[in-house]
């Protein structure tokens, strides 16, 4: 004969097992540098931390209270590592806008290869009027659609992907730097161009990474290492990384390019058939912006949806001219000759 406490004990036991399973997945996400399989768990750190906390709370009143308390503390600590990416109702302010420098804008968009409302995309571009645009999932249909704004963005490079779906593109209102040519990574996952921002040149790059393990993301990052390392001393790069800011994958991309990851604007992706509010508050922050050198990022704002499963991100930044240092032998020799001439005169 069953006792009256048998059912509650069984529920507590099942809850405990579920809590431990999610805790194990949460722990695995912190070891992404060991193997990309572990890194795949890191992308869901926020969701796993919330699940562990919700399962631990009722167990505090059970015989599993000590384990539940430990799991709850770990969940809170894990959640704290993601605070900089949580949804905001205002733009992310990185650095105050300078009064003596021009502020430029970059629009990052995953277009979605089969977007049913391309005119929404073109309308958003027209309203925001960014200086440069980085685009992902540039399929064949987008070649035609983007042609309609050629007069506004005459400087461009489109990089097709082997499957004809996941290409990238880079559009600019500002000219490419004299003597330079934009170029594509051989498989169309990255586009790079040196853009002239009022006399100050900066490399601008668009990147689109594949899905995490067991897909080819880790392998692809290795393939892009040469392109990432080729970025100039002053550069800004944006794209759909299919990886969250705290993941080993994003840290690896940043290290290869000697780049800094911008504070996240918040979740940008969610399954397209779910409500937009879920994308903004429960989605994944996988659209990243990186910078280095003379680039100073001031803010990042998620914009309204345009028919894609990603939200566009508008970034404001400024550039400072790098002082040229006579650190090569030729310039040092010229400086020495000039000083010698003055002493003789």
Q: List the beta bridge partners of residue 332.
A: none
Question: Taking residues 292-302, what's their average pLDDT?
Answer: 95
Q: What are the strands of the beta sheet with 183-184, ordered from one edge?
A: 183-184, 190-197, 200-208, 235-240, 287-292, 260-261
Nearest to 305 by CA among 280, 329, 327, 287: 280
Write the pLDDT tens digit of every residue in 225-247: 999 999 999 999 999 999 999 99
User: What is residue 331's predicted lDDT score, i.e. its pLDDT?
Assistant: 53
Tokens 């704004």 correspond to 149
Neighbours of 66 (CB within 10 A): 10
Quick one: pLDDT band at residue 279, thresholds 50, 70, 90?
confident
* Torsion angle of C-alpha atoms 248, 253, 254, 259, degrees rounded to 10: -170
Q: Which residue has the tokens 């009022």?
A: 198
Q: Where are the alpha helices (DSSP H) in 148-206?
A: none
- Nearest Cα neighbor of 322 from 199, 152, 156 is 199
Torsion of CA 101, 107, 108, 110, to 10 degrees: 180
104 near 197, Cβ under 8 Å? Answer: yes
What are the distances in angstroms from CA 141 to CA 11, 126, 198? 53, 19, 33
What residues does 200 pair with on adjacent strands?
A: 197
> Which of 19-23, 124-128, 301-305, 328-332 has the weakest average pLDDT?
328-332
pLDDT the model gives residue 15:
96
Closest CA to 32 of 243, 235, 233, 239: 243
Look at residues 189, 205, 333 and name the one whose alpha carbon lies nearest to residue 257: 205
Q: Which residues contact 59 (CB under 8 A, 6 or more apart)?
A: 12, 15, 16, 19, 65, 67, 68
Return the C-alpha torsion angle 302, 308, 309, 311, nearest 10: 0
Mean pLDDT, to the nearest integer, of 297-312?
95
d(CA 124, CA 118): 10
Encode pLDDT of 167-182 as tens digits.
999 999 999 999 999 9
pTM of the model: 0.87
Highest mean pLDDT range out of 96-100, 105-109, 183-187?
Answer: 105-109
Name the percent of the chain lying above pLDDT 70. Answer: 87
Task: Please indicate whether residue 271 or residue 287 has the higher confidence score (pLDDT).
Answer: 287
pLDDT of the residue at 340: 46
Q: E-strand spans in the chain?
A: 92-93, 103-110, 132-136, 155-159, 168-172, 183-184, 190-197, 200-208, 235-240, 260-261, 287-292, 295-302, 313-319
The pLDDT assigned to 338 comes to 54
In the prediction, which pLDDT does 1 show? 47
Question: Rounded mean pLDDT of 35-46?
Answer: 97
Q: Which of 103-112, 114-123, 156-165, 288-297 has the lowest mean pLDDT?
A: 156-165
Question: Which among 223, 191, 228 is positioned nearest to 206, based on CA atoms?
Answer: 191
């Amino acid at each position: 004969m069953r006792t009256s406490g048998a059912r509650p004990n069984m529920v507590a036991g099942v809850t405990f097992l579920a809590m431990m399973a999610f805790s194990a997945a949460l722990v695995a996400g912190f070891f992404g540098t060991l193997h990309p399989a572990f890194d795949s768990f890191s992308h869901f750190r926020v969701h796993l931390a919330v699940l562990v906390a919700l399962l631990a709370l009722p167990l505090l009143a059970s015989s599993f209270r000590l384990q539940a308390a430990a799991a709850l503390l770990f969940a809170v600590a894990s959640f704290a590592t993601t605070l900089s990416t949580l949804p905001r109702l205002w733009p992310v302010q990185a650095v105050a806008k300078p009064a003596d420098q021009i502020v430029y804008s970059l629009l990052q968009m995953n277009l979605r290869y089969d977007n049913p409302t391309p005119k929404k995309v073109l309308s958003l571009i027209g309203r925001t009027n960014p200086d440069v645009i980085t685009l992902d999932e540039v399929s064949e249909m987008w070649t035609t659609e983007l042609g309609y704004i050629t007069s506004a963005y005459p400087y461009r490079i489109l990089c097709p992907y082997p499957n004809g779906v996941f290409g990238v593109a880079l559009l600019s209102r500002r000219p490419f730097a004299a003597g330079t040519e934009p170029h594509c990574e051989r498989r169309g996952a990255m586009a790079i161009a040196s853009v002239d921002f009022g006399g100050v040149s900066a490399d601008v790059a668009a990147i689109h990474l594949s899905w995490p393990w067991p897909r080819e993301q880790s392998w692809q990052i290795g393939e892009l290492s040469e392109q990432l390392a080729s970025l100039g001393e002053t550069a800004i790069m944006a794209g759909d990384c299919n990886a969250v800011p705290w993941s080993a994958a994003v840290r690896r991309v940043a290290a290869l390019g000697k780049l800094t990851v911008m504070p996240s604007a918040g979740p940008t992706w969610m399954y397209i058939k779910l409500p937009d509010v879920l994308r903004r508050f429960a989605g994944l922050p996988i659209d990243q912006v990186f910078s280095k050198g003379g680039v100073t990022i001031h803010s990042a704002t998620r914009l309204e949806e345009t028919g894609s499963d990603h939200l566009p991100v508008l970034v404001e930044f400024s550039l400072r001219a790098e002082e040229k240092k006579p650190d090569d032998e030729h310039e040092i020799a010229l400086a020495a000759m000039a000083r010698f001439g003055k002493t003789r005169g």
